[in-house]
C-alpha cells in the first residue's frame, strides 16, 4: 500500500516517541482497508509488551460543563510536573460529511503546543459510547510511545457514553452547579460508575452553588452500592480558569491507582476489560460481515420494506436474514 511503512519502521518510531510516526501508526489502525488491518495488528502485537504502564483516565460530563477547558488546565498541571500526557479527544461526527465537527487542537491550543503533551482528535464515527472504534488501540500506541497518562475525552451523548468506563482505570465525571436540580441532570447509571465527581466552574458567584452541589452528590454516593474495591468516590470542585482544585483531583486519582494496585483490583479490572474488548470485536466483526454478505445486501432492502409495511414481523425478518447469512 502506498505511503505505508514497514512493521519495523512503525514499531521503532513509536518506541522512540516520534510524534509523526505515532500519528501515522494511529492513522494505520483507524484505516478500514483489509491490508492495513493486517499490518496494524502486526504492529500492535510487537508493541504490546511496551504497553499497560500508563494511568488511563476517562473524562465525561454534561454538555457545557467545559471538558476541553478542564482537560487543558488539568493537562498543563500534569506536564508542569514532568508527566507525559496523551489526550484522545473524541469529537462528534457530522452525519453528513462523516468528518469531525471540531478539532480539539483548536480548543486546547496551549496544551497542543506543550512538548510533553500529545493531542489526537478523532471522529467518533457515530459509535456507541461516544468513543472512536479504535480508541483502545490508539491508547496502546500512546503507551508504547512513552506517555504516562492517557486521557480519553468523550462526546456528551448521554448514558451510552459509559462504554468508556470499560477501557480506563479511573472514570471522572464533570458536573455543573447551579443549573437546576443537579441530581436530575445525569443518569444514576453514570453516577454509579464514576470514581470521582468534579464540579467545574467553581469560581466567582458560582462558588456557593458549587459547594451545595458537593453536599448533594456526597449524600447521593452514600445511597449507592459501594465500589468493588471499597473506594468511596470523592466530590471535588475546581476552576480551570483560576487553576484551582486541579492538584487535588490528581492526588485522588493517584490515591485510587495505588490502592487499586495494592489490592489486586487494578490487574483484575484490566483483565476484565481485555475480555470485554475481545467480545466487542467479535460482535463488530460479525455485524460487519453480515451486512457485507452478498445475499444479505441483495435481499436487505426488500425485507426492510416488508417490515416497514408491517407485512413481516421484525422477528421473522431477522430470522430469515440470519438463516441466509449462515447458508
d(CA 235, CA 186): 15
Q: What's the pLDDT score for residue 166?
A: 86
Whether 126 and 95 have beta carbons less than 8 Å apart is answered as: yes
Q: Do 208 and 121 belong together in one domain?
A: yes
Q: Residue 322 sits in a domain of what CATH number?
A: 1.10.287.130
Q: Is residue 116 in some structural domain?
A: yes
Among 15, 30, 50, residue at a domain's last position? 50
pTM: 0.87
Return the C-alpha cell found at 165: 468506563
Q: Is residue 281 in some structural domain?
A: yes
Q: Do 14 and 115 belong together in one domain?
A: no
Place of cell 510487537: 46
Q: Is residue 270 in some structural domain?
A: no
Q: Do 189 and 215 belong together in one domain?
A: yes
φ and ψ of 87, to 5 deg: -115, 120
DSSP letter assigned to residue 99: S
Number of structural domains, the chain? 3
Q: Do 40 and 62 belong together in one domain?
A: no
d(CA 147, CA 78): 12
Q: Residue 9 sits in a domain of what CATH number?
A: 1.20.5.170
Return the C-alpha cell found at 67: 471538558
Q: Do 237 and 178 belong together in one domain?
A: yes
φ and ψ of 167, to 5 deg: -135, 10
Among 208, 242, 263, residue at a domain's last position? 263
Q: Do 219 and 282 belong together in one domain?
A: no
Q: What's the pLDDT score for residue 318?
A: 97
Q: Domain range holding 122?
A: 51-263
d(CA 316, CA 24): 45
Q: Do 28 and 158 belong together in one domain?
A: no
Q: Do 93 and 129 belong together in one domain?
A: yes
Q: What's the pLDDT score for residue 59?
A: 92
DSSP letter assigned to residue 94: P
Q: Is residue 59 in some structural domain?
A: yes
Q: How far is CA 311 from CA 237, 285, 296, 308, 315, in A?
A: 56, 30, 19, 8, 12
Q: What's the pLDDT score for residue 87?
A: 95
pLDDT in tens, 163-218: 788 889 999 999 888 654 445 545 567 788 889 999 999 888 888 888 888 988 88
Q: What's the pLDDT score for residue 229?
A: 83
Q: Do 43 and 171 belong together in one domain?
A: no
> Angle CA(317)–CA(323)–CA(325) in degrees, nearest 5?
105
Burial class of 25 by CB neighbour count within 10 A (0 to 12, 13 to 18, 19+):
buried
Q: Is residue 268 in some structural domain?
A: no
Q: Do 18 and 76 belong together in one domain?
A: no
Q: Is residue 235 in some structural domain?
A: yes
Q: Is residue 173 in some structural domain?
A: yes
Among 34, 50, 66, residue at a domain's last position? 50
**117 Cβ contact partners less than 8 Å away, ≥ 6 residues apart:** 75, 79, 84, 85, 86, 87, 111
Q: Which of 9, 43, 17 is closest to 29 using CA atoms?
A: 43
**46 Cβ contact partners less than 8 Å away, ≥ 6 residues apart:** 7, 11
Q: Do 130 and 198 belong together in one domain?
A: yes
Element at 121 (helix H, strand E):
strand 117-123
What interhelical angle do 7-15 and 19-30 show, nearest 10? 130
Please report, in tens digits, the pLDDT of each residue of the chain (327 residues total): 567 899 999 999 999 999 999 999 999 998 888 899 899 999 999 999 999 999 999 998 877 888 889 999 999 999 999 999 999 976 544 333 344 434 444 568 889 899 999 998 765 554 544 445 688 999 999 999 999 999 998 765 554 466 788 889 999 999 888 654 445 545 567 788 889 999 999 888 888 888 888 988 888 888 887 788 889 999 999 999 999 999 999 999 999 999 999 999 999 999 999 998 899 889 888 998 999 999 999 999 999 999 999 999 999 999 999 999 998
Q: Do 86 and 154 belong together in one domain?
A: yes
Q: Is residue 129 in some structural domain?
A: yes
Strands 85-91 and 196-199: unpaired
Q: What's the pLDDT score for residue 100?
A: 41
Amino acid at each position: 500500500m502506498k505511503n505505508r511503512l514497514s512493521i519495523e519502521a512503525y514499531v521503532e518510531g513509536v518506541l522512540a516517541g516520534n510524534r509523526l510516526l505515532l500519528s501515522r501508526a494511529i492513522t494505520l489502525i483507524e484505516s478500514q482497508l483489509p491490508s492495513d488491518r493486517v499490518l496494524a495488528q502486526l504492529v500492535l502485537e510487537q508493541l504490546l509488551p511496551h504497553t499497560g504502564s500508563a494511568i488511563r483516565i476517562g473524562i465525561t460530563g454534561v454538555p457545557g460543563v467545559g471538558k476541553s477547558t478542564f482537560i487543558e488546565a488539568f493537562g498543563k498541571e500534569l506536564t508542569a510536573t514532568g508527566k507525559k500526557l496523551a489526550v484522545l479527544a473524541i469529537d462528534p461526527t457530522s452525519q453528513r460529511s462523516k468528518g469531525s465537527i471540531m478539532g480539539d487542537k483548536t480548543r486546547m491550543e496551549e496544551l497542543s503546543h506543550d512538548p510533553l503533551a500529545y493531542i489526537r482528535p478523532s471522529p467518533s464515527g457515530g459509535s456507541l459510547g461516544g468513543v472512536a472504534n479504535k480508541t483502545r488501540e490508539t491508547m496502546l500506541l500512546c503507551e508504547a510511545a512513552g506517555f504516562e497518562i492517557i486521557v480519553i475525552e468523550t462526546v456528551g451523548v448521554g448514558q451510552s457514553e459509559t462504554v468508556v468506563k470499560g477501557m480506563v482505570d479511573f472514570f471522572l465525571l464533570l458536573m455543573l452547579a447551579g443549573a437546576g436540580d443537579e441530581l436530575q441532570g445525569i443518569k444514576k447509571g453514570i453516577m454509579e460508575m464514576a470514581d470521582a465527581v468534579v464540579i467545574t466552574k467553581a469560581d466567582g458567584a458560582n462558588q456557593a452553588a458549587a459547594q451545595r452541589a458537593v453536599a448533594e452528590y456526597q449524600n447521593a454516593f452514600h445511597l449507592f452500592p459501594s465500589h468493588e474495591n471499597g473506594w468511596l468516590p470523592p466530590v471535588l470542585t475546581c476552576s480551570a480558569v483560576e487553576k484551582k482544585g486541579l492538584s487535588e483531583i490528581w492526588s485522588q486519582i493517584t490515591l485510587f491507582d495505588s490502592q487499586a494496585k495494592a489490592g489486586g483490583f487494578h490487574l483484575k479490572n484490566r483483565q476484565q476489560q481485555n475480555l470485554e474488548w475481545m467480545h466487542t470485536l467479535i460482535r463488530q466483526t460479525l455485524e460487519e460481515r453480515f451486512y457485507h454478505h452478498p445475499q444479505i445486501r441483495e435481499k436487505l432492502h426488500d425485507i426492510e420494506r416488508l417490515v416497514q409495511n408491517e407485512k413481516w414481523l421484525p422477528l421473522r425478518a431477522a430470522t430469515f436474514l440470519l438463516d441466509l447469512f449462515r447458508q
